[in-house]
Amino acid sequence: MRQHTETSSSVFDTGNHIGMMFSGPSTLRNFMISPNAASAPIARRRGRPPDPHARTRILTAAESLLNDAGYLGVTIDEVANRAGVSKKTVYRFWPHKPALISDLIVERSAVLPVPDTGDTRAELATLFGLIVEYLTAGHGRTLTLLVAATHDDPGTLNRLRDQVVTPRRDIGRRVLQRGIARGDLPADVDIDAVLDLWNGLVAYRLSGRPAALHRHTIDQLVELAMTGHIPRLPQS
């Protein structure tokens, strides 16, 4: 039977990933235990259990290949070779290449929280730094490619959104909300717009050409936010 169906027990499509947002980077074989712990106590599995090291080695191999050859240069054969694993094993864990790369990004995308320091300006700067760091590190770039390459694969897309985009957004949202609560930011700030503006700037600078983003510009954007010169929600 296919392991990667739409049914709930799939590694790839398993839902309820909210808890992850607070706990940092995801763990291997994400979230398989907790959601089923209560509802599926029996369902005993027989036979030899899958090698947990295999999955790790595959992801590591995929990552190195991604760095070496780019997204389109990643070959399942080569991933399997580098991982010392058979192709069959790769396809046991992921239904197709985009899913593998997607998982790779999900796991490698640390969603670091911005601690509440009481200093809104400092928190905004930290947030901006996280954005730059993430998108510069390589995974952010690959993420963009992945989205472009999987425009007809809503499953992978949703997974990426739920596992990577949304958690990262929530980190930013929380920082801005704290700023509002402290009275440092206007109450009607359009949080999504601000975050997309900042993320978009960094992503756009990276795509195509290696144009530098100066510290100066970042500071200005933070300052504009602190002075309330940022998009607001409509009054409706």
Partner DNA sequence: CTTTAACCGAGACGGTACGTCCGGTCTTCAG
Partner DNA sequence: CTGAAGACCGGACGTACCGTCTCGGTTAAAG
Binding site for DNA (CB under 7 A): 2, 44-51, 54, 74-78, 84-89, 91-93, 95-97
Closer Cβ to a second copy, 38 or 212, answer by number = 212
Among 13, 78, 170, 190, binds a second copy (CB under 8 A): 190
Work out whether 191 is an interface residue with a second copy (CB under 8 A): no
Taking CA 5 as the corner, what is the angle to CA 162 and CA 2, rounded to the nearest 5 degrees?
140
Binding mask 123-142 for a second copy (x = CB under 8 A): ------------------xx
Work out whether 207 is an interface residue with a second copy (CB under 8 A): yes
Work out whether 112 is an interface residue with a second copy (CB under 8 A): no
- The CB-of-41 to a second copy minimum distance in angstroms stands at 26
Task: From the list a second copy, DNA, none, pick the one residue 210 interacts with, judged by a Cβ distance below 5 to 8 Å according to partner type.
Answer: none
CB-CB neighbours of 52 under 10 Å: 10
The DSSP symbol for 74 reads -
Binding-site size, a second copy (CB under 8 A): 45
Alpha carbon of residue 156 to chain centroid: 12
The two three-digit tokens of residue 41, written as one number: 């106590």
Helices (H) and strands (E) in the chain, counts: 12, 0
Residue 47: partners with Cβ closer than 8 Å, 6 or more residues away: none
Give, for 141, the enclosing helix (H) or strand (E): helix 139-149
